[in-house]
Amino acid sequence: MMRINIPRSTKLAAGSFICATLAFLNQPTPMAKAAGDQIVIGLVTKTEVNPYFVKLRQAATAEAEKQGAKLIARFGKFDGDNEGQVAAVEDLISAGVKGILITPNNSTGMLGIIKKARDKGVLVIALDTATDPANAVDATLATDNFEAGVLQGQYARKALGDKQAKLAMLDGTPGGTVDTQRHDGFLKGFGIAEGDPAIVGKQNTHGAQDEGQTAMENLLTAHPDINVVYTINEPAAEGAYAAIKARGKLKDIVLTSIDGGRLGVQYVQQGKIAATVMQFPKIMASKGVDYVVEYVKSGQKPSGFINTGASLITDKPFSGLESKDTKWGLENCWGLNTLAAGKDRLLAVIGRP
Amino acid sequence: MSTSSLAASKRNAIGLGRLITMPTFGPLIVLIVFCAIFSLATKTFFATGNLSLVVQQSVIVGTLAIGQTMIILTAGIDLANGGIAVLGTILAGRLVAEQQNPVLSLLFALFICTSFGLTAGLLVSRLMLPPFIVTLGLLGIVTAITRLTAQGGAFPVTDDLLSWPGNAFAVGDTSITYGMIVMFILYVLVWYLLTQTAWGRHVYAIGNNREAARLVGIPVQARLLSVYTFAGLLYGIGAWLALGRIPNADPNALQNANLDSITAVVIGGTSLFGGRGSLWGTLIGTLIVSVLRNGLTLTGIDPLWQDLVTGILVISAVALDQISRRKQR
Amino acid sequence: MTMDVTTKVALPPKGTVVLEARGITKRYGQVTALDHAELELRAGEVLAVVGDNGAGKSTLIKVLCGAVVPDEGEVLLDGKPVHFRSPLDARKLGIETVYQDLAVAPALDIATNLFLGRELRRKGPLGGWFRLLDKNRMRREAQHEMDQLKFHLPAIDSAVEKLSGGQRQGVAVARAAIFARRLVIMDEPTAALGVRESGQVLNLIRTIRDRGLPVILISHDMPHVFEVADRIQIMRLGRRAAVTTPQKHTMSQVVAIMTGAARGDEPVEANGG
């Protein structure tokens, strides 16, 4: 007779593991609720770490609930996680969604899978970031980032006055679609072309505060005469602010940003950033959900580029340049105060009771 | 453990006992349990189309994880595999975009990826540098080269040869991509090398007890060099499979592939301390992660659970390995 | 080329000198580890090499197995001078060494460990082109050799880590015994073992000697030395202080020579030679 020894630890681990798996099933699975004719909508965002996408997701979830639809959210793990996003769309098609709202990681990475989804009759709407070509999706709901960049550039030009510009550009990720549009828009609004000698330095910050600070420190060391700064988003701007402050140059430099998160508006309110440009993910998400519901009900598809708008936020306005103050900004911004965001994230993870 | 009970099982080695002591047994059970749960929870999971999807989603990490398995078996680790593969996609894509011959472009990308494997191998075997540091440094280097080569942006790759692994044919109503087949062939090939040749035994022995391997006359340096170089070639093939899956060369892609491949290897039951484990376990580990991700989406459960469960599995796997090793001291 | 592991060179008659070291000197900076050391190993014997720490026994052994190249002196195998640059050179001439720290790969099975670095491949294209291992043959031959050595182990395909310390050392000793064609050198083979386990390894040493292979045994452990050694070489201050037998001297006399409390006979011989 042969004796089989299964180590106790194996049994324990296997046991706890099975418990963990069963825990999923004990959750009120949305699929069960979704039984019947409920419309299922998929949302694929770039990442889940950025409050912008958290807002997008919340707005979409809220709108779906209002419309009696079910939203399944997925996201990439980092900026550039095309593989994760493709897998997400594939899974959503398998799950039988009627429409997919997607913020593609880059404008060409998703083309194949988007086509596959549309061939199966799934309505695909790009949110926030357009695809290339733009007609790869049924419609695009986004900020015109180029136009938003133009607003930022125009403000920077006016704020600088007559001084000769020494411009530092804190870009995001090299090659990112949004990054390029904002960058180019800023230059247009500022009234110069790429390669203009007024641009004394460019650095990639990946939109992160620490990298923004390092980049600004290095740029200021190299060019102490910098007097105007473009930043890709407010975290990068916050980093730049710290570097500028450490150098004692707060008075000499116009710091501008773009994105419009709550923190960003607060920075403007506190005078850290001269101005920022706000975009409206909430509108993208809710409109996107509405379009899918409409499509299921009537077969009507939206098409083309639908601009969800952008607003300049500053407490130091200039005549001839339309802007809103930070009070309005705080009421209309995306992003959350930290505590609420934490609670919401927790709820998102453990599922709503 | 008494000699007599071991001796008793001597002639009974093949059978249930063998199965349970196989390093792939635990991971296999986990995979089966997950599949069973998701099959019960949704009607769509067990559809052949969906299962084919799960495998397609495993192809890139699954291939990179082959190289990772070989390296971890020698008690090393590779943090650069995803970075090397991305460089491969950018090089091949860029050359083709500049009207170069696709075959030569692909071969050049494979050659460069292999060279980076060779470089890692030389540093690890000749200079005796820790693999963690060597591959961390290489990751930085290849990432920089990738960004420089890409000149900033992602770009689509439309070439037929480069996107060939993404082409599919149907078997019944299941679609099989060539990428899946390439991956499977690589698994069989490396399994053969690891288990049926002296080279493979040397790889295990080096990871088990490097000094002993040297003393019994195994050419340790040459073996390590061959492992890292071959892994580099596999990463190059991984790059090709990645282009097949997403015909787009993106310098920002596959940033987590190093950790994902380590996860697959560890969940698959291979010891991070080297010398023990199985390549099939790695394939199962890769599939477990994909099945989780897919199944959770189909059931509509927040995909953050995937990270949580994967984390539990990784820690359990390493803990089991550590416990079983301690017992045998 | 595949080696037939069971083939042994025809062994010389008992008593002839197999391995000889003459005037071996090795200095490490200011320290002289070996100062014209001598050694003679005869066919069919177990020669124990004993000495206090720093007496030079380890360095002498390293010279004999090729791990250390001496500054002066020569090593003769069957009367012919040999020059070892690495342990591999010594091994090619049929000298196998068992190292103090268990030189086994614990996760691999017994048969694999026995053939590690000298795996057997299938005959024909399967082995030639496809490098396919002949696992059955290795298992069979490993089992055969273990039976010959009368060393009892669990299944030949169980992992070495499942064995006791003595059994593991047995695997290392058996590996040396299987592949050695001239002699086996053992460096403290019982150092890490308990009483019963040491007994197993000592038995193994006797078996190897009885099969005709001479053994050089380095050990701290006097009872073990007196149990298996035919002759005992006592090292002191980098030279051979005396050569005796367990019959001629008692343990305490040997220890006295080791520590310098008593005079060995060797310096006279050495000066004469």
pLDDT at A301 over 70: yes
A81 and A118 part of one domain:
yes
Q: Give the residue with greater pLDDT, A344 vs C73.
A: C73
Cα A176 from Cα A169, distance rounded (Å): 15
Torsion of CA A287, A291, A294, A295, to 10 degrees: -170
Q: Which residues pair with C121 in a beta bridge?
A: C133
Name the 3-class secondary structure at C243.
strand
pLDDT tens across B98-146, in order? 999 999 999 999 999 999 999 999 999 999 999 999 999 999 999 999 9
Residue A317 within any structural domain of the chain: no
pLDDT on residue B125: 95
Mean pLDDT, all residues of chain A = 84
The string of DSSP codes covering B230-259 is HHHHHHHHHHHHHHHHS-EE-TTTTTTHHH
Neighbours of chain C (3+ CB pairs under 8 A): B
User: Is residue A245 domain-shared with residue A261, that is, in the same domain?
Assistant: yes
Nearest residue to A241 (alpha-carbon basis) of A209, A280, A286: A209
Q: Is residue A253 situated within a structural domain?
A: yes
What is the reported pTM? 0.80
* Residue A262 falls inside a structural domain: yes
Q: Decide if pLDDT at A177 tops 80.
A: no
Using an 8 Å CB-CB cutoff, list chain A residues near B245: 83, 86
Cβ pair B7:C104 closer than 8 A: no
pLDDT digits (tens, 9 = 90+) for A105-115: 878 888 989 99
Pull the structure tokens for residue A330. Answer: 């705080």
Claim to verify: residue A125 and residue A223 sit in the same structural domain? no
CA distance B195 to chain C (A): 9
Domain extent, residue A94, equals 37-143+280-309+336-350
Q: Which residue, among C53, C36, C44, has the nearest Cα to C16 in the 3D structure? A: C44
Does A124 score more than 90 pLDDT? yes
CATH number, residue A266: 3.40.50.2300
Same domain assignment for residues A136 and A181: no
Instruction: Decide if A154 is inside a domain.
Output: yes
Stretches where chain B sits below pLDDT 50 are 1-13
CATH top-level class of B44-327: mainly alpha
Judge if A160 and A273 occupy the same domain: yes
pLDDT of C119: 92
C-beta separation of A41 from A292 below 8 A: yes
| Closest-CA distance of chain A to residue B171, Å | 19
Q: Give the per-residue pLDDT at B18.
A: 61
A74 with A101, same domain: the answer is: yes
Res C150 pLDDT > 60: yes
Q: What is the pLDDT of residue A340?
A: 46
Name A147's Cβ contacts closer than 8 Å, sequence gap at least 6. A185, A307, A310
Residue B106 and residue B91 in contact, taking contact as beta carbons nearer than 8 Å = no
pLDDT at C108 over 60: yes
pLDDT at A33 (0 to 100): 42
List CB contacts (< 8 A) between B252 and chain A.
78-80, 105-106, 173, 175
* Residue A92 confidence (pLDDT): 95
Q: In total, how many domains does chain A have? A: 2
* Contact call for C91 and B208, based on CB within 8 A: no
Interface test with C, best of B12, B191, B194, B201 (most C CBs within 10 A): B201
Structure tokens at A153: 């550039």
Mean pLDDT over the full length of chain C: 86
pLDDT tens per residue across span C254-273:
999 988 888 776 543 433 33
SS3 content of chain C, % helix, strand, coil (to 5): 35, 25, 40
Other C-beta atoms closer than 10 Å to the C-beta of A275 total: 27
Residue B321 is predicted with a pLDDT of: 83
Residues of C in contact with B218 (CB under 8 A): 116-117
Residue A352 has pLDDT above 60, yes or no: no
Here the ipTM equals 0.82
Rounded-to-10 torsion of CA C90, C92, C94, C100: 50
Q: What's CA C176's distance to the chain center, in Å?
A: 8
* Pair C222, C246: CB distance under 8 Å: no
pLDDT higher at C6 or C91: C91
Per-residue pLDDT, A207: 84
Give the lowest-confidence range in A168-177, B132-141, C10-19: C10-19
* Contact between chains at C152 and B3 (C-beta distance less than 8 A): yes
Mean pLDDT of C114-131: 90
pLDDT of residue A32: 39
Q: Is residue A126 domain-shared with residue A210, that is, in the same domain? A: no
Cα–Cα dist C135/C127, whole Å: 11
Q: Give chain B positions within 8 Å (CB) of C112.
A: 201
In this model, does residue A28 exceed pLDDT 90? no
Check pLDDT > 90 for residue A326. Answer: yes
Boundary (domain end) residue, out of A279, A298, A318: A279
Q: Is residue A254 part of a domain?
A: yes
By C-alpha distance, the chain B residue nearest C99 is: B215
Beta strands in chain B (DSSP E): 155-156, 168-171, 174-177, 248-249
Tens of pLDDT, residues A229-288:
999 998 899 899 999 998 899 999 999 999 888 888 999 999 999 999 999 988 999 999
- Nearest residue to B262 via CA among B252, B253, B272: B272
Percent of chain C at pLDDT exceeding 90 = 44
Do A150 and A268 lie in a common domain? yes
Residues of A in contact with B324 (CB under 8 A): 7, 9
Q: Is residue A27 part of a domain?
A: no
pLDDT, average across residues A115-138: 93
To the nearest whole angstrom, how far is the Cα of B43 from the nearest Cα of chain C? 43
- Confirm or reject contact between C126 and chain B (CB < 8 A): no
In a domain, A32, yes or no: no
> pLDDT at residue A209 above 70?
yes
Measured CA to CA, the distance from residue C159 to residue C166 in angstroms comes to 14
Range A53-61 average pLDDT:
88
Tell me the three state secondary structure of residue A324: strand
**A130 lies in the same domain as A233:** no
Q: What is the pLDDT of residue A19?
A: 47
| pLDDT tens for each residue of A15-27 | 454 444 444 444 4
What chain C holds in terms of domains, given with CATH numbers, is 17-100+184-198+216-272 (3.40.50.300)
